[in-house]
Amino acid sequence: MGRILAIDFGRRRTGLAVTDPLRITANPLLTVETRELMNWLRDYFSREAVDQVVVGHPTQMNGEESESMNYIRPFLGQFRKQFPDMPVTMYDERFTSVLAHKAMIDGGMRRKDRQDKAVVDKIAACIILEGYLEKLKIE
């Protein structure tokens, strides 16, 4: 069984999280510059067994897609072209940044460290992945 990789796509930076090989836990992985994302993914997929990718789906409070989808759609098209056999699932990412900040505060992270947006991005990706794993348990 391969890992599940979560992507919190951003215009500048993209947060990444991954499950353990048994898909029990979600762990923040790192944040990469978005312009380097496809190269990073190609390298990671060549080293690690990944069976599925979960991409944060930005939605507004009323359930409609947010403007961020204008940046994510081209990425998804490029991703599917580069990795046609890799299943991709979109998962609601509402409140993930807020939850990431709360997790950092609850974890005792210093204020200065909490201002590092790269940390927020990878924790947000982890929250997306945790939500997706919970959804799988229910289904």
What integer pLDDT is reported at residue 9 of this predicted model?
94
What integer pLDDT is reported at residue 68 of this predicted model?
79
What integer pLDDT is reported at residue 21 of this predicted model?
92
For the chain, 139 residues long, the average pLDDT of each consecutive 10-residue run is 94 95 93 97 97 89 77 95 96 64 57 62 89 84
Q: Which residue has the tokens 């950092």?
A: 104
> Domains, the chain, ranges and CATH?
3-138 (3.30.420.140)
Q: What is the 3-state secondary structure (H, E, C) of the chain?
A: CCEEEEEECCCCEEEEEEECCCCCCEEEEEEEEHHHHHHHHHHHHHHCCEEEEEEEECECCCCCECCCHHHHHHHHHHHHHHCCCCCEEEEECCCHHHHHHHHHHHCCCCHHHHCCHHHHHHHHHHHHHHHHHHHHHHC
What integer pLDDT is reported at residue 102 of this predicted model?
57
